[in-house]
Structure 1
Amino acid sequence: MKIFYAVQATGNGHIARAKELIPYLQRYGQVDVFLSGNNSNLKVDLPVKYQSKGLSLFYGNKGGLDYWKMAQELSLFNIIKEARELPVDRYDLVVNDFESITSIACKIKRVPSIGFGHQASFKSKLTPRPISKDRIGEYVLNMYAPASKYIGLHFEQYDNFIYSPIIKEQILAANPTNQGHISVYLSHYSDEVVASYLNQVPSQRFHLFSSFHLFSKKEKTVNQRGNIIYMPIDNALFTQSMINATGVITGAGFETPAEALYLNKKLLCVPIKGQYEQLCNAAALQNFGVPIVSTLKADFTKQIENWLNVTTQKKLEIEWSTASIVEKLMEEAASLQEQKEIIDPFELNHLSLKFR
């Protein structure tokens, strides 16, 4: 079997998940990766055969999205051109982890695909949302990368096609300890902004991971200043820090909160401003007893102190192993092969005609 696996490289979660998933997919055949996006901080150690700048999200340094940079990077003409050239029709199975070019390519070439990953879980109306829904956010979650079928991942099994988070083997095999520090990863804020608050809790030690390094954006070593140890972005380093931490402060993404809850670490989340998916995750995390901080402001230091003193949270239980999730994925793939007709998930005729 030849498997085409589209990986969204916006942020680190999709790549981290792909690293865990690919060895299981390779049990069923050859896996070729299409990497789309250019702003992940993780080292990409994947069988990448195709690559694109894609449609990437970029963040400022004060908690929100950088819409100007996102607009500068967007080229609709190139996206359609790349979609036409992407050889999805040469593969037995297309697995799409929220990647739009692959979705367009499958539409144009009438190739069925399976939408896989966290975003796929939002195809269910039962998946938690914030009290105030965002129509544009809902549209993006539903129409950014439509597929023929879906395998969703979330904190709990809200629907029959939603399964457990894929947790790294290093986390699954860990013996968590409490060495007294807090692991902090807030990539949507600069180190200077985050440190200005952490310095106000001098009795607490912090490990601060960020792509905006206080000393140098090219800094590759560990540096300490006061009660903060500044760490370069490194998957293994962050994982080890989290395993031995008292708690974790991070955005309201998916992979890192899932790992923290699985390790039964205290968790505090600061969602990225303007990113609807993180607001949805925040709604789900509140059901675990996780405090949500909308933005860093004057009382953030007090919120940290309260969280350290009184927070109790529910541990994340893993009901589906990675191997069993891949088995379900292959069952869906087999059912796609049996179908004689595939219903188009969305209409792009006007785009395909325009760029002929």
Structure 2
Amino acid sequence: MKLVFIVQGEGRGHMTQAIALHQILMDAGHQVQKVLIGKSSRRKIPDFVLKNLGSKLKTFESPNFFTDQKDKSIKIGATIQKNLLKINHFKKSLHLIDQVIQEENPEVIINFYDVLGGIYNALNKPNAAFWTIGHQYLIYHPHFPFANHSFFHKYLFKINTWLTALGASKMLALSFQEMPSHNNPRLEIIPPLLRESVKNITPLKGDFILTYMVNPGYAEEVISFGQKHPEIQIVAFWDKKGSPECYRPLPNVSFYPIDDQLFLQKMAVCKGLVSTAGFESICEAMYLGKPVMMVPVKGQYEQACNALDGEMAGAGIQHHCFDFKLFTEYLDQGFSLPDYFPAWHAQLQIKIEEIIKENKIINKITNYLPHRAISK
């Protein structure tokens, strides 16, 4: 089977998911021909993505969040306004996506939660199955735990998710755990997409707390806390352009730019993870048996849902700020993660193969029916 990926480039989660699924599909004998990643001026494509997907990678300008002056909380009004002003750039992106699809002629397009991916499918109606993948599609499951925030933010989240899945024949919803049965024929609940490099790690318990922040403005909180609590060791990863390989503002606080291998090495030997509530980082921690404090990005409703869902799944606790002291006290209580996660994740390969097999059967039936109609 031939495939093309369209990937949202905001944060690292969707890109690491794309790398993991790329490996699974290639190992099964399928062809991922191109990986289209939405970029913005706010972020650069991480080196680990270039290393894993470089020869197949093509970037396009895509809508993204805009933050406050401290590069911390999401400003919804500014995000909508500034993205509307760039509509001509996005038209060029849609044209680029169409060029790639026409050239590669894939059987399946998989959209990793990019808005332009959904809009492209609705406008151009390519001759390929269109699937979407991400934790966000769990909102279509009746048991999904919506965060108790404003109706406006919840509505925008649902609209954004709907846009990414326009015309999708399958929505592959990544979940921390198995979910009860449902009757939505487009919705498939599957385990998280974890890279082989995560599964090959042997975790140990170190003496520091690991932290990751999708918006570098949260570094102020980390440094402020480190000054007040020099006894707590903190190793942080951030997505800040131009940051040095190791920024050490305090003896007990270190910052590193996003590096997948170094991040996983640190994850393997940390006491626990304090992180903005990105789905992928929480899953990696759960797989390695590391408790998590989830701090949703302010103004990003989807992360509030992630934190609530992760807490209900037993990943750890959620909090409104990077309070490493509270997390240390939580760890000292002897908390242990539920042991179901590795077994749930082990079902991933089988579930993906079943979805692909079902698609092939549908294609055969679709191709057969017109011939029968003509023969009659």
Scaled to the shorter chain, the TM-score interval is: 0.7 to 0.9
In structure 1, the residue matched to 2:335 is 312
In structure 1, the residue matched to 2:197 is 170
Task: Pick 1 or 2: higher relative contact order, CA cutoff 8 A, min separation 6.
Answer: 1
In structure 1, the residue matched to 2:122 is 107
Asked whether 1:230 is paired with 2:255, we answer yes
Quote how far apart the aligned CAs of 1:185 are: 1.0
Partners of 2:239 and 2:125 in 1: how far apart?
Answer: 40
Sequence identity percentage: 21
Question: Which structure's residues are more often helix, by fraction?
Answer: 2
In structure 2, the residue matched to 1:348 is none
Q: TM-score, normalised by structure 2?
A: 0.80
Which residue, out of 354, 357, 375, partners 1:328? 354
Report Cα offsets for 1:25-49 as digits up to 9, x if no partner.
2321242111112325622221435
1:54–1:79 contact (8 Å) kept in structure 2: yes
1:182–1:248 contact (8 Å) kept in structure 2: yes
Which residue, out of 347, 363, 367, partners 1:337? 363
Number of aligned residues? 335
Asked whether 1:48 is paired with 2:56, we answer yes
Counterpart AA for 1:120: Y
Counterpart AA for 1:327: E
Quote how far apart the aligned CAs of 1:236 are: 0.8
In structure 1, the residue matched to 2:35 is 33
Change (3 A) 1:158 1:336: same
Quote how far apart the aligned CAs of 1:138 are: 2.1
Report Cα offsets for 1:139-162 as digits up to 9, x if no partner.
222333332211111101225511
Partners of 2:232 and 2:19 in 1: how far apart?
Answer: 33
- Bigger drift between 104-113 and 236-245 goes to 104-113
In structure 1, the residue matched to 2:19 is 19
Partners of 1:40 and 1:129 in 2: how far apart?
Answer: 31
Quote how far apart the aligned CAs of 1:280 are: 1.0
1:149–1:332 contact (8 Å) kept in structure 2: no
Change (3 A) 1:63 1:328: farther
Change (3 A) 1:110 1:332: farther
- Structure 1, unpaired ranges of 5+: 342-356
Partners of 1:203 and 1:49 in 2: how far apart?
Answer: 44
1:199–1:226 contact (8 Å) kept in structure 2: no
- Structure 2, unpaired ranges of 5+: 182-187, 368-376
In structure 1, the residue matched to 2:273 is 248
Which residue, out of 74, 77, 83, partners 2:88? 77
Secondary structure of 1:199 counterpart: helix
2:205–2:271 contact (8 Å) kept in structure 1: yes
Report Cα offsets for 1:236-282 as digits up to 9, x if no partner.
11111010001110011101111111211121111011111111111
Change (3 A) 1:48 1:69: farther
Counterpart AA for 1:99: D
Backbone CA RMSD of aligned residues = 2.7
Report Cα offsets for 1:296-344 as digits up to 9, x if no partner.
5xxx354234323226253351324443343134134325524649xxx
Secondary structure of 1:104 counterpart: helix
